Chain A
């Protein structure tokens, strides 16, 4: 029964976070639509946590290589995403 309880706990977190996300981002000015997208996209690169564990754990070769490829893609997503968002936001400034 323990596994089931843990699953329900995870689902609880999932559902609450969905609602939270919905409340957080109700009114976004159009100016910020693109940065919000690229910034939130960088956050979805959180899969990197799983990728690091797969690439670095003590187990079969194949899982390690899959983890390695995942680290590359997730890092690209994270680093590129946060940087390009920062670059874009730097352009939004008052003139003069």
Chain B
């Protein structure tokens, strides 16, 4: 059974509408589950009608591909630890990117079969392509879009793999140092891929050159992503998310398919919005994240800041302090994710709440390694999202807080951002935990955060360091509270 192209196009329209309604739903807490479902439904409709397209005659490879992809996709979605969500999203972004590269490449190869064989065909292709007409060779639109899809898709693919490796803390990646003139090198890579792309547009019979374009794009993706530091990861993930959408959109131009163009550009736009939210939260421009370096040379040394002023505390002392508190705020950071301490935090929250103490969470927008990372982790541990407060909401209240417990966060609570205009994090909005009566910092050592600067908060009069791995430290603390 084959469907008429008009029916297929109407089904694509319905799918596009479902994507729009779905994305809108995903941006509101009450409708998020339904939004995700509608997006999935749109995808299912688009897939089913495509299977009934009259051009689709051989189902062997499709079914095999669907089966393999579904199997691996389901296993990954079910098995993944919430702490590893950033890596997973990076990987999925990359898969979207490589799929666009492959589809555009396949479309380019298919055009070769339309050309008459031999030198005549090549001549005809050259002339018609130069004129921008469609018959009998590939149209200029297809060619230009294929080149765009190849470059953007390849950048998305390798960039996402590098981001994945960084998030997975594969050490070899950090050994790739930024070299002088890397930005210029990147521009040359891009220009090179564009030149080869133009060559393919003029002479479409040179299909094999498409892989040169994709390879150059791939190398570009690597060198664009390797110099970016861990603290900037939320921005990069959001940006790669946007790229994967734009790549899908470019593939839509290759195939002259509106549902790809619409879905791709929606995702492209949403990725850009998240990127700008993340940049604002760090008071850094996108340009600085992508091409800049953080200057950590200026400012006082760690010895000057910490010497003789650090007070360490124990689980027992902390337990006593907490029992006298009325209002406690917990500030989680990436250290919490690394130590998988979200369940221990939940136990601490329950212990304190049972004793009549108010417990809230202050979440910095870029805490963790991807936008909203902390929210997902705490939700996994069954902490009510009503207890999670945004930075702007909780900041004015810190003066009325008895105890703040900072768990594995550093730069996002560094008061230097407010006080020292020369600091690399100057102007970055921070959580004003230093205004609370007592601040407890759970941390493995005094080592600096990603900005590479000492944190005077640790040496403040009202601060106590509780050294240790976040999970172990919290389990000790919980035991001390129960014993007390």
Contact = CB atoms under 8 A, between A and B. Distances in A.
A binds B: yes
Interface string A13-48: 111011111101111111111111111111111111
A81 B241 CA distance: 12
B376 A49 contact: no
B70 A28 contact: no
Could you tell me the dominant secondary structure of chain A's interface residues? helix
A95 B349 CA distance: 13
A68 B386 contact: no
B65 A51 contact: yes
Given A51-B102, A53-B56, A63-B110, A24 B20 contact: yes
Chain A contact residues (Cβ within 8 angstroms of B): what range? 35 or more
Contacts of B390: 29-30
Contacts of A90: 33
A19 to B, nearest CB: 8
A14 B172 CA distance: 40
A50 B269 contact: no
B68 A75 contact: yes
A52 to B, nearest CB: 5
A78 B371 contact: no
A48 B47 contact: yes
A24 B132 CA distance: 36
B340 interface: no
Nearest to A95: B384
Contacts of B254: 50
A47 B29 contact: no
Contacts of B20: 20, 24
Interface string A57-73: 11110111111111111
Contact of A79 (B28, B70, B260): B70
B92 interface: yes
Given A6-B256, A41-B267, A44-B245, A33 B274 contact: yes
B461 to A, nearest CB: 32
Could you tell me the dominant secondary structure of chain B's interface residues? helix
B161 to A, nearest CB: 12
B266 A40 contact: yes
Nearest to A46: B263
Nearest to A64: B61
A57 B274 contact: no
Contacts of B24: 24-25
Given A48-B47, A57-B110, A39 B36 contact: yes
Interface-central residue, B26, B264, B268, by most chain A CB under 10 Å? B26
B270 A21 contact: yes
Given A39-B35, A57-B55, A88 B98 contact: no
B365 interface: yes
A41 B106 contact: no
Nearest to B80: A84
B46 interface: yes
B258 A40 contact: no
A44 B73 contact: no
A19 B133 CA distance: 30
B46 A49 contact: yes
B224 interface: no
Q: Which 6 A-B pairs have the closest CB atoms?
A: A75-B69, A21-B269, A71-B65, A33-B372, A33-B371, A80-B73
Given A35-B32, A43-B23, A85-B26, 13 more contacts: A10-B258, A21-B270, A36-B270, A41-B89, A43-B22, A51-B102, A64-B58, A67-B106, A70-B103, A74-B103, A75-B66, A75-B73, A95-B382
26 contacts: A3-B139, A24-B270, A29-B28, A33-B277, A36-B372, A39-B26, A42-B92, A43-B39, A44-B247, A50-B251, A53-B53, A54-B107, A56-B55, A57-B110, A58-B57, A66-B102, A67-B102, A72-B68, A77-B96, A77-B99, A79-B77, A80-B74, A82-B39, A88-B82, A89-B36, A92-B375
